[in-house]
Amino acid sequence: MNLTTLVFILLSVMAIGSAIMMISSKSPVHSVLWLIVVFFAISGHYILLNAQFLAIVNIIVYAGAIMVLFLFVVMLMNLNAETEPVKNYRLQLVGVITGGALLLVLVSAVMKIDVEQLVEMKVGDQGLIKVLGMNLFKNYVVPFEISSVLFLSAMIGAVVIGKKDETANH
C-alpha cells in the first residue's frame, strides 16, 4: 500500500461518508454543508488522477458558486429541521423504487467494467488544462458548442423570467 492508495481510500471514505450524512441529516443547511464536503473529496480524487483543472473547476463552480446559491436559498427561506414536512408513505415508496433503479443501473455499469483498464493514479495528462483544451476545441468542438448554446438559452430564459413585466406597471 503506497501513499496514493492511502489518500484514495481516505478520500473515498470521506466522500461516501459525507454523502450519507448529506442524505440523512434533517436540517437542509447541514445537508448543503455535507454536500460541499463531498465536492471537496471528489476534487481530491481529480487531483489524484492528475486532473488539476477539473479539480479546481469543480471547486469553483460547484463548491464555490452553486452550493453558495443553494445555501443562500436555504438560509433565505429559513428551512429548519422542524419545518421539514413528513413525507407521505406512498411518496417514500416511490423514492425508494427510483433510487433502487438508479443504483441497479450504476452497479450493472460498474460490473461491466474491464478490470484490465483500471484508472492509473498520478499519471496521464488528460486532465491537464492544455490537453483538455485541445481535446475540447478540436475533437469535441461540436458538443462543446451545443452545450454552450444550451447554457445560453437557459441564461436568456432566466433573464426573461426574471425581467419585470413592464406592461403591468401601467
The amino acid at residue 30 is H
- CB 79 within 8 Å of CB 66: no
CA distance 88 to 142: 45
CA distance 34 to 22: 5
Q: Does 71 bind another protein (CB under 8 A)?
A: yes
Q: Does 37 bind another protein (CB under 8 A)?
A: no
Tell me which residue of 31, 56, 28 sits closest to 42, measured CA to CA.
56
Q: Does 21 bind another protein (CB under 8 A)?
A: no
Q: Does 150 bind another protein (CB under 8 A)?
A: no
Q: Does 128 bind another protein (CB under 8 A)?
A: yes
Residues 51-70 that bind another protein (CB under 8 A): 52-53, 55-57, 59-60, 63-65, 68-69
Cell 468542438 locates to: 141
With contacts defined by CB under 8 A, name the span among 1-9, 96-104, 111-119, 145-153 that binds another protein. Answer: 1-9
From the number of C-beta atoms within 10 Å of its C-beta (0-12, 13-18, 19+), residue 52 rates as middle
Position among 11, 15, 36, 42 found at the interface with another protein (CB under 8 A): 36
10 vs 106, beta carbon nearer another protein: 10
CA distance 81 to 88: 17
Using CB under 8 A, list all residues that contact another protein: 1-3, 6, 29, 33, 36, 52-53, 55-57, 59-60, 63-65, 68-69, 71-72, 75-76, 128-129
